[in-house]
Amino acid sequence: MLDQHAIDTLRQHTVPAQKLFIDGDWRAGNGGTLDVISPIDGNVLTTIERATAQDMEGAIASARQAFDDGRWSRMAPAGRKKVLHRLADLIEREALALSVLGVRDNGTEINMAFKAEAGSAASTFRYYAEAIDKVFGEIAPTADDILALVHKEPVGVVGAIVPWNFPLMIGSWKIAPALAAGNSMVLKPAETASLSLLRLAELASEAGLPDGVLNVVTGKGSVVGEVLGLSMDVDVLAFTGSGPTGRRLLEYSARSNLKRCYLELGGKSPNIVFADAPDLDRAAKVSASGIFRNSGQVCVAGSRLLVQRDIHDDFVAALAKNAEGFSVGDPLDLASDIGAVNSLVQLEGNIGFVETAQKEGAERVTGGSRILEETGGYYMEPTVLTGVKSGDTIAQKEVFGPVLAVITFDTEEEAVAIANDSDFGLAGAVWTADLSRAHRMIRKVKTGVIHVNTYGGADGTVPLGGVKQSGNGHDKSLHALDKYVDLKTAWIQL
């Protein structure tokens, strides 16, 4: 149980001006600073370095050096395992402080941040720490006079570019398997959520991670992200963010060393409710959480609700009631169910999407507005729009805000067609009591993840990744390790 007094004490802490974390040390950058605006009240919380190309090149050189001299890449597996476990211990020790720092930076409600950020980061590091001495190469079944070995080797320098919605969780999904496999890294956090990742790098150092193995460079994506993408010394790019940036990374790769790019690019996930769903009240409650928690700033958010016509009115009413029941406000108040939108730009974008939807014929059932403006913070009501058609902007574009588009369907075939009428294919859900229908839908809905009779909650044992323009490559599970290793075949004549 989280303690409000402890949270309130931590929120008073002054956050010092941040530096870059390069080669195991704090370094000033050469490009001045960027203000960190807290979405809680719109005030400047601290500053981060606005790194330059030269700063980024220094970080990449540090990672390269660390990789090439083997200080981590050739450390005995038991040693690497110990370091990552120690890091998980430190994250747990600092869980509340890390979470409060992250919330002051990005606005996620503390109840969710504590679990999904610090909690999930610690368990991710433990999971991959354990994998270090349990996942290894192969001996192929060849002719008697041949010995064929398949080695799994670290790739080299991994560049990770991560977004602002869950920096610690998503950062750890990249950092933990990449380090477990023996790589060195340069991490580029989002401009509006760098603080907890800078602290994570410091904790990694305290846990015994050798200098230079994990470097964190803050600044503008269009400047330092580009340098990382174009570097001849970066072997893999692991990215979560928007489609346009993902496309740029592929271009950088093509223009440089053909580095592998793993892209997680969000979605417009269909949450499909059939009239025979086992418990419609629960479905409405979980569906509301599935779109509105963290102000809808969740890549797998169920942002398209497909409802069978017979239950449409009752279901929408139940869902709107849940939406209106959420308490939106100060994300560091334990009584808030939903915190702040990450930035003013994001908030204005959300409102713009609602206006466009209404112009295109959608009806606003609840929400749609900025609230609590007097706090100076960025808060938005959970918003439900009905009468949406599959081709509408609100059904096609990712809002990344607390805005739900409701579409009606009659038949199972129609539900499948609408669900798949999207450039994206990240996640989705089906609510039905019919086991055969559930399995048919699992096969037919083109997404990387599909939930049945629930929404969200998949843990670290299963992969998360998209199909279509939601990207490629998977975070989480043992499969994620494949992104960070090269296979080398040794064919030996005996």
| Part in contact with ligand ADP (CB under 6 A); list of ranges 132-140, 240-248, 277-285, 474-482 | 240-248
Provide the mask over 68-97, with x wherever binding to ligand ADP is found by CB under 6 A and - wherever it is not.
------------------------------
Query: For ligand ADP, which residue of 48, 157, 176, 190 counts as binding (CB under 6 A)?
Result: 190
DSSP summary character for residue 94: T
475 binds ligand ADP (CB under 6 A): no
Min separation Cβ 289 and ligand ADP, Å: 21
> Cα–Cα–Cα angle for 247, 249, 250, nearest 5°?
65
19 binds ligand ADP (CB under 6 A): no
| Part in contact with ligand ADP (CB under 6 A); list of ranges 202-210, 241-249, 270-278, 459-467 | 241-249
> Do the strands 138-140 and 146-154 form a parallel or antiparallel pair, or are they unpaired?
antiparallel
**Token pair for 185:** 């890294």
Query: For ligand ADP, which residue of 99, 231, 245, 470 counts as binding (CB under 6 A)?
Result: 245
| Part in contact with ligand ADP (CB under 6 A); list of ranges 10-18, 224-232, 377-385, 455-463 | 224-232
- Beta-strand (E) ranges in 346-476? 363-366, 370-371, 379-380, 383-386, 403-409, 429-431, 451-452
55 binds ligand ADP (CB under 6 A): no
> Can you tell me the distance from the alpha carbon of 114 to that of 199, in angstroms, rounded to the nearest whole number?
15
Pair 410, 253: CB distance under 8 Å:
no
SS3 194: coil
181 binds ligand ADP (CB under 6 A): no
| Part in contact with ligand ADP (CB under 6 A); list of ranges 57-65, 176-184, 225-233, 418-426 | 225-233
Min separation Cβ 252 and ligand ADP, Å: 7
- Shorter beta-carbon distance to ligand ADP: residue 82 or 260: 260
Query: For ligand ADP, which residue of 23, 94, 109, 191 counts as binding (CB under 6 A)?
Result: 191
- Shorter beta-carbon distance to ligand ADP: residue 185 or 318: 185
Min separation Cβ 245 and ligand ADP, Å: 3
Residue with tokens 């969710």, as numbered in its chain: 112
> Can you tell me the distance from the alpha carbon of 483 to that of 475, in angstroms, rounded to the nearest whole number?
9
Pair 481, 135: CB distance under 8 Å:
yes
Residues 118-177 that bind ligand ADP (CB under 6 A): 161-163
> Can you tell me the distance from the alpha carbon of 67 to that of 82, in angstroms, rounded to the nearest whole number?
19
> Can you tell me the distance from the alpha carbon of 227 to that of 430, in angstroms, rounded to the nearest whole number?
42
Please list the active-site residues: 264, 299
> Do the strands 363-366 and 383-386 form a parallel or antiparallel pair, or are they unpaired?
antiparallel
Query: For ligand ADP, which residue of 33, 47, 242, 375 counts as binding (CB under 6 A)?
Result: 242
Element (H, E) at 262: strand 260-264
Cα–Cα nearest to 118, from 208, 46, 197, 221: 197
> Can you tell me the distance from the alpha carbon of 457 to that of 451, in angstroms, rounded to the nearest whole number?
9
Min separation Cβ 474 and ligand ADP, Å: 18
50 binds ligand ADP (CB under 6 A): no
241 binds ligand ADP (CB under 6 A): yes
Pair 217, 188: CB distance under 8 Å:
yes
Query: For ligand ADP, which residue of 19, 27, 104, 188 counts as binding (CB under 6 A)?
Result: 188
Residues that bind ligand ADP (CB under 6 A): 161-163, 188, 190-191, 221-222, 225-226, 229, 241-242, 245, 248
